[in-house]
Amino acid sequence: MKKIFDKINMKKVKNGSYSILLSIAVIAIAVVINLIVNEIPSQYTKFDMSDQKLYSIGSQTKKLVQSLDQDITIYYVVQNNNEDSTIEKMLERYEDLSSHIKVVKKDPVINPNFTSKYTQEQLSENSLIVESGDKSKVLEYSSLYETQMDYETYQSETTGFDGEGQLTSAISYVTSDNTAILYQVEGHGEQALPSTLTSSVEKENIDLTSLSLLTQESVPEDAAAIVICAPTSDFSEEEAQKVISYLENGGKALIFSEYATEELPNFASILESYGVKAVDGIVFEGDNQHYYQQPYYLVPGFGDSEITTDLISNKRNVLIAGSQGIQKLDNYRDTLIIESLISTTDSAYSKTDVENMTQIEKEEKDIAGPFDLGVAVSETSGDKETQLVYYSSFGILDESADQMVSGGNMELIMDSISWMCKDGETSIAIASKSLEMNPLTLTQFQSSIWTVITLIIIPGAFLICGFVIWFRRRKQ
């Protein structure tokens, strides 16, 4: 019996030892696998399952980052355990894309004076500082998210994440030798640019600076372009000539006008020197597929242009109210190339007597369309290329109208600026990732169709089906 028990105990020891060794081997293999996986870039081990693709990196960013030939340090100003998970995961993606990018966390409590080298402002946690050589750019935490005021609750709500756009723009800035300057002409009651546009301009690494033609002898030589925002009083002949001379020497200009009863002949001479002019009155659209709610809220079609390519391919819309029509002059020099950017249908008409208008339908005295609402003009002379973009309504910059088309208006304007300011280089223009449902903008025609479908066709189909079932059962 003793021999039997000894054999059984020995067998248990052997089996126990085998189990222990096997467990140790499995644990060791698991540890090694985890160590190996941790060394694999997160883009291959972590998958973006969010609806908005918050953690995914776009093709423009990949192209820029993977082509880097200089080192970049991204300082992440945050205390341990206070990290914004969205920003942290985004930074991991950037670091995995290039060996030239290094992310360094800086605890503001342990290093209270660190940020003073880059800014005198007090940075909030989860802010970023991008540095390469002697250049740096600070990204305040609030700039990485878009917010909007809810006028029902009077509270600010987060509507979008702009981390990739801001960070890629900062990387482009610190690795670029030149910064474009956009001069905004002032002194004639010009409209102020909305904050959405100025933020987008800064994001494209374009400096926006005021320019008074009254005090300057000419447009500065370092101007990448000038912008004229719907003046309400006229230019002097001298000021208009300064703009024309600048354009004749290969200048670039983005020009907006606004309907007014007072004529501005000197301002108009700038446009006419490049083959276009504004039509009298305000444009109304007769085709209900190309206006929203009212015939003067225009949903124009796109022309075939380098500026509109992305908008067309992405099936975007723009929305403009109170626009004048644009006409080409009967005689303009054949070196000018005038392209339509946005335009009405043949059913459009311009109301010439807006102040005494009694009906919105077309009248005999109205000017028949179609009309351009935005044009791009270019002219090449030797090694100089003049570029001018003209929109006949400042309403295209209205922020509420832009929201109705999910940013289509601002995209068109920024594509126009990029066409002029980037000298043929690929523009870094990455849209923010929305955290809310985008509004659905329907034209009057589409609204009518869906009204018929929901109120007549669908209920009618149920009634017919019910009647057929009732009739068949009755016969049984």
The domain limits of the chain are 10-39, 59-148, 179-434
Handedness of CA 269, 272, 278, 279 (dihedral sign): positive
Residue-level pLDDT at 425 = 46
Q: What is the distance between the alpha carbons of residues 424 and 325, in angstroms, rounded to a whole number?
A: 29
Cα(321)–Cα(54) distance, integer angstroms: 34
Q: What are the residue ranges in the chain where pLDDT is below 70?
A: 1-19, 31-55, 148-154, 156, 422-447, 475-476
Q: What angle do CA 398, 403, 407 make, to 5 degrees?
A: 90
Question: Between vectors from CA 140 to CA 134 and to CA 143, what angle results, nearest 5°?
Answer: 120
pLDDT of residue 16: 61
Which pLDDT value is given to residue 243?
Answer: 95
Question: How confident is the model at residue 163, as a pLDDT?
Answer: 84
As a three-state string, the secondary structure of 98-167 is CCCEEEEEECCCCCCCHHHHCCCCCCCCCEEEEEECCEEEEECHHHHEEEEEECCCCEEEEEEECHHHHH
Biggest CA-to-CA distance, the chain: 123
Task: Report if pTM > 0.85.
Answer: no
Using an 8 Å Cβ cutoff, are 375 and 363 in contact? no
Q: Residue 242: enclosing H or E segment and its boundaries? A: helix 237-248
CATH number assigned to the domain with residue range 179-434, chosen from the 4 options 3.10.580, 3.30.420, 2.50.20, 3.40.50: 3.40.50
pLDDT on residue 44: 46
Tokens in use for 444?
A: 């009057």
Tell me what pLDDT residue 473 has: 77
pLDDT of residue 49: 47
CATH of 59-148, one of 3.30.450.20, 3.30.1780.10, 3.20.20.70, 3.40.30.10: 3.40.30.10
